[in-house]
Amino acid sequence: MKHYSPVSNSTGTNAYANYVAVVQSSGTGKSRTIDEMSKKHFVIPMNLRRDGSSGTSRFPSPDIDAREYLLDRGYPNGEHSRQEDVSRRICAFLTALFEEANHEVKKFLEKTIDAGEEAVATHFRELMTTGQSAFGQGMARIEFYDRVVKRAKEALCATLAPCPPDSPTPQGKMSQQVSKGSIHLAFITDLRKTKGPRPAEATPKRSPQVVIVFDESHTLTEVEQHSKTDDMGRTNFSQLRRILRGLNQAPLFSLFLSTLGDIMQFSPSRDQDKSGRIVLGELELIPPFTEVGFDHFAIKFDVNASTDLSDVAEDEYICRLGRPLFGGRFIFDDTYTRDNIVTFASGKLLNWPNKLADLEEFTGAQEMAILSQRLALEYGSSNSLNAAERKQVESHMRLCLSVKPGFTYMRTISGSEPLLAEAACYAMTLKDKRFDAPGALRKILSGQFVNQGDRGEVIVLLLLVMARDAAVGPPNVFGRPEHGRVFKVVDFLASLFKKSEDVLSAMPSIGKEGLELELKNILATAHMHFNHFIKVHQHSLMKRTYLARYPARGAGLICGNSQVGIDGVIAFSAQERRMSVRNTGLIIWQVKLDKIYTSTPKWDMFSSMDPATLGIFDGEGNLSPDEGLNDRPVPIIRIVFALAAKKSCLKVRPMEFAEPDPRYRTYDFWCAGLDRNIFRPITAAQENSWKGIRGFCNGWEDDYASIGVARKQLRREMNAGAGAYKEHFNGWCV
């Protein structure tokens, strides 16, 4: 409200109406945010969720009387109303709403003479929330909306004069009835004359004093045409919006909450808006709001506290990270709810209300939700929101990070939520459900909306999470790995590489002779915890002072395109399970999909992954050695994945006898090809799917595949200088 109030209520405003759409996926705390606001501001909430829609048992429950009234578009005889009739109904409803709210406040003030604004707001909040459950609203709220609807229906019998539907809506002059209704907003203004307590931060003179909240508001945007009357696609919301325009001078603000649905109708693009003045640029809509926050229930991680890795892998810790839905359930519910928190999360992720075992086959949307949560899959840049991406936000817990008016730009992400990643792992590894991960990823990448990457990074990410799942073992009936979520690094490497003995017997790339330097000895007590990846965008994060924190989210890192030398990082505890900066070892890698990278290693490439050059150990000068641990160099495992190599191999870099950096030991591996002889997660049955993924990730060369030689030559000529093929140069160079 602090952000939007000055925009919509200042003198000379060009906002069409004082409302904003609040857009975010399920469980992110939209309703909770409103409840917190209602402790200090006068908020009139209503929930318009339809019966039979997805999640009808969710909290808060719908206000049935208000919903049925506001969504009704017909006469008593069944004929559909004209736009004027919808306006009449909404005018009557708002008037009745203000009058009933006024009545409740007056009753309260009669008993509490010195009450101020905050006390009134708190009283009305208690009226609206007492007795709430997932199965229904409290009796006081039910009776309140029963009176509102009855009063509104009585008002419909009166003569109303709503503004003609095709004429401009004058600001502050919507209709006689709403003008009368707006007078009742004065009961808040009158409070300013009382001698009761005032908030420490005084409200600006023209800031909203009443906030109406329409939760699950996408139901207002439903379009229903009729054979006898064409409403030109207008909805109940379009009429409500015009009425709110007429109340711009009143101390009123409205919020429309939704997971997405037809939320674009709340903030259409300028050229598609039904208001001529918006189309001409004379007025504008307030941009949608998405920032509900994250990690509200989190137990703060202190990288200097020597936390045990097992502590950050428990349900109580991971469920508090991310959206408040899971943390709230775990903290305040019973043992049964806590035991089933992972299976509950899997149902939310998949939008599946029953047991996962009852799901016969995963849909494409469910496969996308599972793999996105673990691999941080991104949709490609677009000026419009595609239906598949919208579905992920609506039904599969994808986050809406930012959006501009008219949805001319929208960015969605799979946020870092370790509990949802565990839910995805549960779906991928359930014994009686054969989730074909490479097949699912191949289908996803074959679509036109998901960012495929240019170097095959996503292939490596899938190999890594599948190796992780094998290392922790299958889930139990509650969706948890039978032996816990923390696992040994040597077990992870053995689950990733078919010839793991070659890896584990490797010597450091620089060092002195001695069997104690073999990787299996260095990693003898090393442990790790990760279940998903997140994408980072700043090189400054490539320091152990930051990298040591990510295991606390169970996260590995994907480096953005600007990260020189590194495509991904996983941090681990080098000794035992102690989490600290000085005890953080790393697995870092590059991915290459160019055919020039073959089974012959290019060891000089590893210089771009040099820890000292990258500054990985910068900023550690004041850190003391960890008590109880050997103060020895930490292992840095470096891998180049040459996925396009025709001949597969796994080669270990020979040790160079020299004095190494005392802070670390590097172990280097050249991994060429993509087949089951190299990678343990690849099975014979799925090998073609893996190679199919590689084909979709081939980047720019995809444009020249599957066409004849002549067309290929001409197409390359059109992309002058873009590649090393002669056709890219023939037309302009000798």
d(Cα 123, Cα 132) in Å, to the nearest integer?
15
Identify the helix (H) or strand (E) that includes residue 103.
helix 83-111
Query: Higher model confidence: residue 516 or residue 506?
Result: 506
| pLDDT number for residue 727 | 84
Whether 228 and 59 have beta carbons less than 8 Å apart is answered as: no
- State percent of the chain over pLDDT 70: 81
Q: Is the pLDDT of residue 404 over 80?
A: no
Top-confidence range, 139-153, 155-169, 195-209: 139-153
Q: Provide the residue count of the chain.
A: 734
The pLDDT-based confidence of 434 (bands split at 50, 70, 90) is confident
The pLDDT-based confidence of 271 (bands split at 50, 70, 90) is low
| pLDDT number for residue 205 | 44
Residue range 594-633, pLDDT digits in tens: 889 999 999 999 999 999 999 999 999 888 888 888 889 9
| pLDDT number for residue 74 | 54
Q: Which of 108-122, 179-193, 220-234, 545-559 has the lowest mean pLDDT?
A: 179-193
Residue range 35-77, pLDDT digits in tens: 999 999 999 999 998 876 544 356 789 999 999 999 886 554 4
Q: Is the pLDDT of residue 541 over 60?
A: yes
| pLDDT number for residue 68 | 94
C-alpha R_g of the chain: 30
| pLDDT number for residue 201 | 45
| 366-381 mean pLDDT | 92
| pLDDT number for residue 114 | 75
Helix, strand or coil for residue 372? Answer: helix
Q: HEC states along 579-598?
A: ECCCCEEEEEEEEECCCCCC
Give the chain's mean pLDDT: 84
| 504-530 mean pLDDT | 91
Count of C-beta atoms within a 10 Å radius of residue 344: 21
| pLDDT number for residue 297 | 92
Q: Which of 138-142, 199-203, 581-585 has the lowest mean pLDDT?
A: 199-203
| pLDDT number for residue 11 | 39
Write down the residue that tokens 């990070």 correspond to. Answer: 401
Q: Which of 215-229, 506-520, 608-622 has the lowest mean pLDDT?
A: 215-229
Tell me the whole-structure pTM to 2 decimals. Answer: 0.86
d(Cα 596, Cα 644) in Å, to the nearest integer?
8
Buried b (16+ CB within 10 A) or exposed e, 224-248: eeeeeeebeebbbbbbbbbbbbbbb
| pLDDT number for residue 158 | 62
Whether 22 and 257 have beta carbons less than 8 Å apart is answered as: yes
Whether 673 and 593 have beta carbons less than 8 Å apart is answered as: no
Q: Is the pLDDT of residue 646 over 60?
A: yes
Q: Which of 136-150, 373-387, 589-603 has the lowest mean pLDDT?
A: 373-387
| 564-574 mean pLDDT | 93
Whether 523 and 510 have beta carbons less than 8 Å apart is answered as: no
Q: Is the pLDDT of residue 174 over 60?
A: no
| 404-410 mean pLDDT | 66
| 296-319 mean pLDDT | 94
Count of C-beta atoms within a 10 Å radius of residue 154: 11
Residue range 184-194, pLDDT digits in tens: 444 544 544 44
Write down the residue that tokens 């004041």 correspond to. Answer: 622
